[in-house]
Amino acid sequence: MTSIVVPPGPPLVVAFDASAVSGAVFSRGLLRARLRAFARVELPRGALVPTPTGPSLPSPGEVADALLALRERLGPGAARATLLLPDGVGRFGLFEAPSGTDLREFVRFRLAPSLPYPPAEAVVDALRVGRGRVLGAAVRRSVVAEYEQAAKAAGFEQERVDLAPLVALTGLLRRGTGVHVILGDAASSLAAFDGPRLAAFRSRRRDPGPGEAGRLREEARRTLRLAGTPDGNGFPLTFLGPGADALVEDIAGTVPAPRVGRAPSLPAGADAAWLSGFLG
């Protein structure tokens, strides 16, 4: 049961991505959650492929083995978990929601034409991002079930299921301003802010390799234009997640603008973008 008086940071989070499964145990601080333990277990190449239509886990056994190892590393008591699905499985849309409407049904209606599968197969929910504004997301039910079954096979008891880019965005809503690139292994999401207001949100497949930093910078510029925000001579650009350091160095070494920054530092090895969403 959701509780008002319990702080928002969940005690245990298990996150999936193409290269690894990772987990974080939180303790409840006075004002915000604290990271008590973090572990990451690499996956064999091709064991997990984040796609919107599925199947995402061609080798569920290998993923379950990695989850068992992760559970062992996180220590005793690590069982009831919030599952985070990777960037690349969900479809997103930023909407003005009419008051008094059923948010999930409204988001389903708006996202239906863009889904690559029948809308009835979508699990839909929304994150409130401002007064009357929501970021809606849809994931195919069969895709969610794959991750749920893998977690169950490893002995995790499921608390709820969330999407990694949505959790990362929760942290960004407190910061605002500029364009934030939330990096996942297979896809990245771009959140453009007009001051403190989320003005656009897009998700794109990653194209790693030489020149990726420049391509992401252009995507960021396109996202700003989509948001109707003039990009001028430079705009604050932030990378979060694995590989952020290299991208920042790449851009900073080639062009004077846009301004480039990184998310606040996290514990060694814990560079997942979603962590900042729980830690604030």
Partner 1 sequence: MRAPDFSTRHRATRRPGWEWGLLGAGVIAAALCLGALLTARAEERGVRARLLEVRREAEGLERRARALERRGREGVTGQAWLTEEAPPARVLARLAGLLPDDVRLDALSLAYGRRLEVEMQVAARSPQAYDRLLERLEASPSLADLVLGAEEREGEVRTTVRASYVPEGRPR
Q: Which chain residues interact with partner 1 by CB under 8 A?
A: 1-5, 8, 85, 90, 95-98, 101, 106, 109-110, 113, 123, 125-128, 137, 139, 141, 144-145, 148, 158, 160-163, 166
25 or 129: CB nearest partner 1: 129
24 or 85: CB nearest partner 1: 85
164 or 220: CB nearest partner 1: 164
Give the nearest distance from C-beta 49 to partner 1 in angstroms: 18
Give the nearest distance from C-beta 262 to partner 1 in angstroms: 26
72 or 105: CB nearest partner 1: 105
Give the nearest distance from C-beta 126 to partner 1 in angstroms: 7
CB 262 within 8 A of CB 251: no
Give the nearest distance from C-beta 223 to partner 1 in angstroms: 18
78 or 129: CB nearest partner 1: 129
Give the nearest distance from C-beta 28 to partner 1 in angstroms: 16
59 or 142: CB nearest partner 1: 142
Give the nearest distance from C-beta 159 to partner 1 in angstroms: 9
Give the nearest distance from C-beta 90 to partner 1 in angstroms: 8
Q: What is the largest CA-CA distance in the chain?
A: 52
Helix/strand/coil (H/E/C) assignment for every residue in the chain: CCCCCCCCCCCEEEEECCCEEEEEEEEECCCCEEEEEEEEEECCCCCCCCCCCCCCCCCHHHHHHHHHHHHHHHCCCCCEEEEEECCCCCEEEEEECCCCCCHHHHHHHHHHHHCCCCHHHEEEEEEEEECCEEEEEEEEHHHHHHHHHHHHHCCCEEEEEEEHHHHHHHHHCCCCCEEEEEECCCEEEEEEEECCEEEEEEEEECCCCCCHHHHHHHHHHHHHHHCCCCCCCCCCEEEECCCHHHHHHHHHHHCCCCCEEECCCCCCCCCCHHHHHHHC
145 or 255: CB nearest partner 1: 145
User: Comparing C-alpha atoms, which of 220, 217, 277 is closest to residue 253?
Assistant: 217
